[in-house]
Amino acid sequence: GAGVSQTPSNKVTEKGKYVELRCDPISGHTALYWYRQSLGQGPEFLIYFQGTGAADDSGLPNDRFFAVRPEGSVSTLKIQRTERGDSAVYLCASRSGTGYTEAFFGQGTRLTVV
């Protein structure tokens, strides 16, 4: 597609439930990033993929968070046993992976845990 697409745009879930957030990057972009943006804060890095592999997952807050990118394109961020503190906007970005390029961001998924 023309830009980074994230679905759903909004997700409300009950505490303890499992959620999946999807990111469809710009076609051909090999680098994909997930960020989390809490209210009044800047985006915080969660995980970075180069191709199919997670090259850096140092930002994942705990083992309830997991992400995959099985074919090197679409990525899914998975959150198990959601907690109210997980409520935030989850942003995905993609980048061409080489050279002096910027990351392009999707519109984000607003996750609310009630």
Partner 1 sequence: AQSVTQPDIHITVSEGASLELRCNYSYGATPYLFWYVQSPGQGLQLLLKYFSGDTLVQGIKGFEAEFKRSQSSFNLRKPSVHWSDAAEYFCAVGAIQAGTALIFGKGTTLSVSS
- Residue ranges that bind partner 1, judged by CB under 8 A: 4, 30-31, 33, 35, 40-45, 48, 50, 55-56, 59, 91, 93, 95-108
Minimum CB distance to partner 1 smaller for 10 or for 80: 10
Q: Rounded CA gap, 112 and 58, in Å?
A: 24
Please, what is the minimum distance in Å from the beta carbon of residue 97 to partner 1?
5
CA atoms within 13 A on the CB side of 84: 1
**Residue owning tokens 């679905």:** 7
Nearer to partner 1, 14 or 39 (CB): 39
Q: How far is the CB of 79 from partner 1 (least distance, A)?
A: 19
Q: What gap in Å lies between CA 33 and CA 45, rounded to an integer?
A: 8
